[in-house]
Amino acid sequence: MALLRTLSHQPVTSKNMSERPKAADLRSKKAEHHTHGPQELSRIVTDFKTGRCYCRGKLLGKGGFAKCYEFSDLVTGKVYAAKIIPHTRVSKPHQRAKIDKEIELHRALHHKHIVHFYHHFEDKDHIYILLEYCSRRSLAHILKARKVLTEPEVRYYLRQIVAGLKYLHEQEILHRDLKLGNFFITELMELKLGDFGLAAKLEPVESRRRTICGTPNYLPPEVLNKQGHGRESDVWALGCVMYTMLLGRPPFETTNLKETYRCIREARYTLPSTLSTPAQDLISGMLARNPQQRPLLDSILSHDFFTQGFTPARLSISCCVSSPNFQRSPRQSFFRKAAAAIFGGKRDKEKYYHTLKLSKEEDIHRLQNDLKRITIGTPPVTDTATGVRHSAPPRPPPTPPPPHEVRDSIHMIVRGALGTSCNSSEGVEDGTMASVVDGVARVLRDCLENMPEAESIPKKKVGSTFLWVTKWVDYSNKYGFGYQLSDHTVGVLFNNGTHMSLLPDRKTVHYSAELGNCCVLSSKEAKEPFLGQVTILEYFAHYMEENLMDGGNLSKVTDVSKPCLYLLQWLKSDRALMMLFNNGTFQVNFYHDHTKIILCCEAQEYLLSYINEERVSTTVRLSALINNGCSAHLRERMHYAYNMLMQLCT
């Protein structure tokens, strides 16, 4: 029975579908392993192409072809999860092709809920794949310690799984082996999808391969019937995952693999009455026998199971071994703290609680959804009847006007600046702030005036470590403008003209009321008059971390020695968002095609980065643009960015 349970959780292909290995076969394989086993792993492993050396640590896990170890870079100290495959296990061409395909596919994936691929190399004995290290191991380990999970925890994990899976499906990639052991948990209890050994590009129905692959307990009927994998197959596996988390066992597990496959083909399983009605309904939908009847990923998140139940913003690390207590939800406590900080008097606090209706758990979700109605990447529209700003519906990008006509076409919507109130129509009065604007404008103008015409961006690219905005949220109708930098610093330029930054350690806060004036606070020990703003700052950080995706593939910066960077001014038109920082970094995000321009000064040299529609970035020296020119597509955006910058002086 123990052997069957182990086998039912291992990936299978059409070549290893037998119900139970024979004892003689097991003895033969064991003897073969001892006789022809792979070269023993060294404690110190060197990548001879880069010269980097790594120290092999503890074993993290093992699969059919590979073992996974903790790897530490001996120079930087950075820790990786290293997937190590002996050459002897991939000696046949089709085996090596499988590993190469996994590497090619995984290295192109970039999402907060996908295990990050860093690097791969090989020596004469092994292939090494360096991946993001997830110190809390996997959901399988958590469930082994916990036996079952609570519904709020299941919602917490499923939201992240769906986010990662949606990204994969948008890339036309099927995972094909979704199970608890392939959901890895970071130090901060964030979930990451991993193990892309069975992943494949989505093919048209008539061209799909009929190979049976995956983990037996999670295989959908259409795969067992050799009809091929589709997006619906991953949804089926997601239903099995949800069932397993709530009940501690897969829905189709039996003592006989053949019986398990029969139950899967008939979609025959039990739903205990201990499950809530929304949970039963969602599982039933995902485990529909007909693939076309299973819900889409967006429909899953809008199901009653999610909308009518509490989802924690974070889970404590204690949840790895013990059940959490949600009687008083962290989010409810969070907003009570915010109310106490922002409203001093008892009557005001009672009025605030009454307005938010925090006494009922389901009403907290109304407040939780409040940020979802704000502007994220699109210009706001004001409802003249209610005075409430909301996001405009998507529309096709306008035809770009000639550069000399751009400034006249800019329709300003809203703006904010350090030291002034949001939506002020006044120009820049502070001499120091004006010098930042003038300096950036002069550099950009000189480039545009001297740059020749060309068909493309210069081919010579440069590396960079500057900070840029990866996520942003306009909540200026209530609090202010929030953003996240590429080092995970979160900043808010409040409507009262002050600025706060929450550093990546999530403990240190930088507060600025004017350019060049910055004080340091502790988020845990903040007192009046800062407590209310710190609370709102933390809410912005939680929201962007949970709901927004990074805006491009520029490298992330983790150098904590860099000086404090904070937003000086922001301005929105009907076409783009402009952000200017205290060090002169200037970024413009165009809404409709999601392109971005970032101008910065690094090592006494100006660099320009352009992120195109495919979220691929190119960084060049501004001097190279002046000498060689760029495409009309980029030139037009630079003209628009320059004229937006000039609006700050009007």
- The pLDDT of residue 410 is 59
Q: Could you give the angle at which helices 531-547 and 330-342 cross, rounded to 10 degrees?
A: 140
- The pLDDT of residue 328 is 47
CA–CA dist 322, 166 (Å, integer): 30
Name the band, by pLDDT with cuts 50, 70 and 90, for residue 9. low
Q: In this predicted model, what pLDDT tens digit does every residue of 490-519 receive, in sequence order?
A: 999 998 889 999 998 888 999 988 777 788
Instruction: Give the CATH class of 139-316.
Output: mainly alpha
Strand 517-522 to 508-514 pairing: antiparallel
For 572, phi then psi, to 5°, come to -125, 135
Let me know: does 305 contact 321? Beta carbons within 8 Å: no
Query: Which one is catalytic: 73, 177, 505, 593?
Result: 177
Please indicate if the annotation marks 83 as binding a ligand. Answer: yes
CA–CA dist 614, 552 (Å, integer): 8
Helix or strand or coil: residue 219?
Answer: coil
Q: Could you give the angle at which helices 139-146 and 231-247 cross, rounded to 10 degrees?
A: 30
Give yes or no: 304 in active site: no
Q: In this predicted model, what pLDDT tens digit does every residue of 631-648 receive, in sequence order?
A: 888 999 999 999 888 877
Q: Which residues contact 326 (CB under 8 A, 6 or more apart)?
A: 150, 152, 310, 312
For 112, phi then psi, to 5°, come to -65, -20
Q: Residue 397 pLDDT > 80, yes or no?
A: no
Let me know: does 187 contact 136? Beta carbons within 8 Å: yes
* Tokens read off for 580: 């200017």
Name the band, by pLDDT with cuts 50, 70 and 90, for residue 11. low
Q: How far is CA 406 from CA 97, 161, 199, 596, 643, in A?
A: 51, 43, 46, 17, 7
Name the band, by pLDDT with cuts 50, 70 and 90, for residue 387. very low
Q: Where are the domains of the chain?
A: 139-316, 328-368, 410-422+431-647
Mean local confidence (pLDDT), 389-396: 37
Q: Residue 363 pLDDT > 80, yes or no?
A: no
Burial class from Cβ neighbours inside 10 Å (0-12, 13-18, 19+) for residue 462 reads middle
- By residue count, the chain amounts to 650
Q: Which residues contact 355 (CB under 8 A, 6 or more apart)?
A: none
Name the band, by pLDDT with cuts 50, 70 and 90, for residue 434. confident
Q: How far is CA 80 from CA 63, 128, 161, 308, in A?
A: 18, 11, 22, 39
User: What does the DSSP assignment read for 454-509?
Assistant: -SS--S---------EEEEEEETTTTEEEEEETTS-EEEEETTS-EEEE-TTSSEE
Q: Which residue has the higher pLDDT, 552 or 361?
A: 552
Q: Which residue has the higher pLDDT, 405 or 589?
A: 589
Name the band, by pLDDT with cuts 50, 70 and 90, for residue 148. very high
**Strand positions, DSSP E, 33-154:** 44-46, 53-62, 67-73, 79-86, 117-122, 126-132
Q: In this predicted model, what pLDDT tens digit does every residue of 113-124 receive, in sequence order?
A: 999 999 999 999
Q: Which residues contact 77 (CB under 8 A, 6 or more apart)?
A: none
Q: Residue 420 pLDDT > 90, yes or no?
A: no
Q: Which residues contact 433 (CB under 8 A, 6 or more apart)?
A: 417, 418, 419, 515, 568, 569
Q: Which residue has the higher pLDDT, 457 or 201?
A: 201
Mean local confidence (pLDDT), 425-450: 74
- The pLDDT of residue 360 is 36
Let me know: does 60 contact 73? Beta carbons within 8 Å: no
SS3 breakdown of the chain: % helix, strand, coil, rounded to 5? 35, 20, 40
Proportion of the chain above pLDDT 90, given as a percent: 40
Give pTM, 2 decimals. 0.50
State the sign of the Cα–Cα–Cα–Cα dihedral 221, 223, 228, 231: positive
Mean local confidence (pLDDT), 448-472: 82
Let me know: does 286 contact 234? Beta carbons within 8 Å: no
Q: In this predicted model, what pLDDT tens digit does every residue of 162-192 receive, in sequence order?
A: 999 999 999 999 998 999 999 999 999 999 9
Proportion of the chain above pLDDT 70, given as a percent: 74
Among the listed ranges 272-281, 327-336, 443-452, 473-482, which one has the minimum average pLDDT value?
A: 327-336
Q: Could you give the angle at which helices 361-368 and 330-342 cross, rounded to 10 degrees?
A: 70
Let me know: does 60 contact 69? Beta carbons within 8 Å: yes
When the candidates are 3.10.450.50, 2.40.100.20, 3.30.1120.30, 3.40.30.10, the CATH number that belongs to 410-422+431-647 is: 3.30.1120.30
The overall average pLDDT reported for the chain is 78
Name the band, by pLDDT with cuts 50, 70 and 90, for residue 543. confident
For 622, phi then psi, to 5°, come to -65, -30
CA–CA dist 214, 178 (Å, integer): 8
Name the band, by pLDDT with cuts 50, 70 and 90, for residue 329. very low
Mean local confidence (pLDDT), 203-221: 74
- The pLDDT of residue 62 is 84
Q: Residue 27 pLDDT > 60, yes or no?
A: no
Q: Residue 289 pLDDT > 50, yes or no?
A: yes
- The pLDDT of residue 104 is 93
Q: Residue 538 pLDDT > 70, yes or no?
A: yes
Mean local confidence (pLDDT), 368-387: 39
CA–CA dist 26, 122 (Å, integer): 30
Neighbours of 437 (CB within 10 A): 20
Q: In the Cβ-directed half-sphere of 94, how many Cα atoms lie within 13 Å?
A: 0
* Tokens read off for 389: 């700003």
- The pLDDT of residue 174 is 92
* Tokens read off for 387: 């005075």
Q: Residue 37 pLDDT > 80, yes or no?
A: no
Among the listed ranges 24-38, 125-139, 570-584, which one has the minimum average pLDDT value?
A: 24-38
Residue 618 parent element (H or E): strand 617-621
Q: Residue 341 pLDDT > 70, yes or no?
A: no
